[in-house]
Structure 1
């Protein structure tokens, strides 16, 4: 049995870690669950422990939460060639880490604010709230599009997948699929970026192994 177990909730950030594991060429077991009434089932929360959020990763005796944290751990532990995350002291490491942290602290934060407003706002005008919140999402996407234009390849850092991509692909796919803040606008460069990410052999393997879909 593989020593790595990925606790995977459908339609969640869990695909980030499955893709990363495939990029690293690691053997891993998937504990998969569909959502029940939009939430993680209790059995998966109990098996994973912690806050009951996903992805969760077990590597032997090590139990890890938060996709950014799991990403850094896996890269630092298993990416001996430093292809996905450059080593400590290398300035390129911090360029990749910028995207690892921005994927949650900026991109997910702004998109989820709209999703939660749709679901839970009781007073006021939901459409106006969403329009106002959309400004941040569109600025985020504009910035990513401009950085992709500067990239010497089809991924954020160039022609090879890095941890920046394994973290950011989900955000883009999620925002476009749910139309969170897009307000009818299109970002062809980012749409192509998502296709390129999902066209990699490693992403395809991760999707098939986990059954991921939005």
Structure 2
């Protein structure tokens, strides 16, 4: 019998967050994969996904779910019965984790994409000057992450164990660093160590192997 969970996975995208959690939860799932074409999802893949054509999209039986943070929360509430990766509703620690889940998109990716879109779409003026003017937010985000890791005194964002905070933010931070989105010439030692710890996790390695995820691909 085929797994009831299906994951629409676009290369070099947020989809890796969901695959990582699926592996950590030891859930069976099928991957419907697409490479990027000219840095974007091909039209035929978007048609398969439906809706806005965005990845990741998760299908679990009759339920279709979009937005990586929303999918992460659904999977934890549905399948993480021991609350290993996201504390239970009402537990104050849950909202510490969810703070990073939302910050990964609402802060880190928002600031990173401002530079990305300037590089892609700016028609007049100097892209370099524009990037110089807006990179401050990215640098503040990275400095904040470095400070939080130092204060935590551990390998992870929330406490002493891997959580969905790490799974969500890992993509945002590695995207920023891989594309040098305002970060050229800067280093964050604790952030680099945290990335290494994330990528040593067996669940992460299994997700990369299953999906063919490669952030070095255009995107």
Do these two structures clear the TM 0.5 threshold for a shared fold by scoring above it? Answer: yes
The separation in 2 between residues aligned to 1:6 and 1:186, in whole angstroms, is 34
Report the Cα distance in structure 2 between the residues aligned to 1:34 and 1:137, rounded to whole angstroms.
Answer: 27
| Equivalent residue, structure 1, for 2:83 | 82
Q: Secondary structure at the match of 2:114?
A: helix
* Cα separation, 2, equivalents of 1:209 and 1:50: 25
Q: 2: CA distance between counterparts of 1:159 and 1:29?
A: 31
Match of 1:62 in 2: 63
Matched, 1:3 2:4: yes
- In structure 1, runs of 5+ residues without a counterpart are none
CA distance in structure 1 between the partners assigned to 2:163 and 2:9 by the alignment = 21
Deviations 1:54-84 (CA, angstroms, capped at 9, x unpaired): 1110000000110011011001111100111
Secondary structure, aligned partner of 1:183: coil
Cα deviation digits, residues 3-53 of structure 1 (max 9, x gap) = 000000001110000001011111100000101121112222122111111
1:134 and 1:183 in contact (8 A); partners too: no
Sort the Cα spacing of 1:188 and 1:152 in 2 relative to 1 into closer, same or farther, 3 A. closer
Equivalent residue, structure 2, for 1:206:
207
Question: Structure 1: how far apart are the matches of 2:19 and 2:153?
Answer: 26
Query: CA separation in 2, counterparts of 1:57 and 1:133?
Result: 34
Partner residue, 1:107 = 108
TM-score, with structure 2 as normaliser: 0.95
For residues 24 and 132 of structure 1, what CA distance do their matches in structure 2 show? Answer: 42
Tell me how far 1:186 sits from its aligned partner. Answer: 0.7
Partner of 1:31: 32
Match of 2:42 in 1: 41
Q: What is the CA–CA distance in structure 2 between the aligned matches of 1:30 and 1:52, rounded to whole Å?
A: 16
RMSD: 0.9
Normalising by structure 1, we get a TM-score of 0.98
Q: Is the 8 A contact 1:56 1:64 kept in 2?
A: yes
Q: Number of paired residues? A: 214
Alpha-carbon separation, structure 2, partners of 1:39 and 1:141: 26
Take 2:174 and 2:106, find their aligned partners in 1: how far apart are those partners? 17
- What stretches of structure 1 move > 4 A for 4+ residues in a row? none
